[in-house]
């Protein structure tokens, strides 16, 4: 696992959207909402919420390490404290009595952006939101059955940030600094 990846925070972002969806959510819809939340936070605050590895996959852009937890190919107690194992194409809260107050890893600003993303995209089904990302996230490249990395600088560039390389450098510098506090 990447030393800078905060599994608990990723799980709480997933739990936020599962809560909004009534306790369980389709994997495809969840992965798109998580990506769009990170992207929206980058647009407003110049940093992602999760700080995950971003990749292009056939169904659009994805937060890679979070996706591994959603799919069950990565395991952790922190993830299991908020999200149940994938069942078919759905993931659910674990335990099912979680509330937004339990999402203590997320700042007020992060919760606010997650809510705005839900307001904008929550009504869409998994294919509508996937298609939206294909049309509106130009950093996504069709990998034709594989996956391709998405650089943070490309996301910033397509968000209209003139200092996209500097912003990416800052994210990686913060990752390096976080290793000293582990």
182 falls within a domain: no
35 falls within a domain: yes
2 falls within a domain: no
123 falls within a domain: yes
pLDDT of residue 71: 93
Q: d(Cα 27, Cα 157) in Å, to the nearest integer? A: 28
- The percentage of the chain sitting over the pLDDT mark of 70, rounded to a whole number, equals 95
pLDDT of residue 172: 85
Strands 24-26 and 90-92: antiparallel
DSSP 41: H
Q: What is the mean pLDDT of the chain?
A: 92
Task: Assess whether pLDDT exceeds 70 at residue 177.
Answer: no
Task: Assess whether pLDDT exceeds 70 at residue 178.
Answer: no
12 falls within a domain: yes
**Residue 19 main-chain phi, psi, to 5 deg:** -60, -45
Q: Radius of gyration of the chain from Cα atoms?
A: 15
pLDDT of residue 75: 85
128 falls within a domain: yes
* Arithmetic mean of pLDDT, 112-135: 98
* Arithmetic mean of pLDDT, 11-17: 98
Q: Helices (H), strands (E): how many in the chain?
A: 8, 5
Q: How many domains are there within the chain?
A: 1
61 falls within a domain: yes
User: Residue 92 to residues 66, 87, 105, 110: CA-CA distances in angstroms?
Assistant: 15, 8, 19, 21
Query: Which pLDDT tens digit goes with each residue over 88-102?
Result: 999 999 987 888 999
pLDDT of residue 132: 98
Q: pTM to 2 decimals?
A: 0.93
* Arithmetic mean of pLDDT, 117-144: 97
> Coil, helix or strand for 56?
strand
Query: Which pLDDT tens digit goes with each residue over 143-164?
Result: 999 999 999 999 999 999 999 9
Query: Which pLDDT tens digit goes with each residue over 30-48?
Result: 999 999 999 999 999 999 9
* Arithmetic mean of pLDDT, 54-72: 96
* Arithmetic mean of pLDDT, 121-138: 97
27 falls within a domain: yes
> Coil, helix or strand for 2?
coil
CB count within 10 Å of CB 146 equals 10
Range of the domain at 166: 7-177
């Amino acid at each position: 696992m990447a030393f800078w990846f905060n599994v608990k925070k990723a799980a709480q972002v997933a739990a936020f959207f599962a809560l909004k969806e009534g306790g369980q959510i389709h994997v495809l819809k969840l992965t798109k909402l998580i990506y769009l939340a990170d992207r929206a936070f980058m647009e407003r605050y110049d940093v992602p919420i999760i700080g995950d590895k971003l990749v292009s996959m056939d169904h659009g852009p994805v937060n890679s390490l979070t996706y591994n937890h959603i799919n069950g190919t990565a395991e952790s107690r922190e993830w299991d404290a908020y999200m149940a194992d994938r069942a078919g194409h759905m993931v659910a809260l674990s335990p099912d009595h979680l509330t937004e107050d339990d999402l203590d890893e997320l700042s007020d600003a992060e919760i606010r952006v997650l809510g705005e993303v839900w307001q904008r995209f929550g009504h869409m089904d998994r294919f509508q939101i996937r298609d939206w990302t294909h049309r509106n996230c130009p950093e996504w490249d069709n990998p034709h059955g594989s996956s391709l990395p998405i650089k943070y600088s490309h996301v910033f560039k397509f968000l209209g940030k003139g200092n996209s390389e500097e912003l990416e450098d800052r994210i990686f510098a913060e990752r390096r600094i976080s290793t000293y506090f582990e």
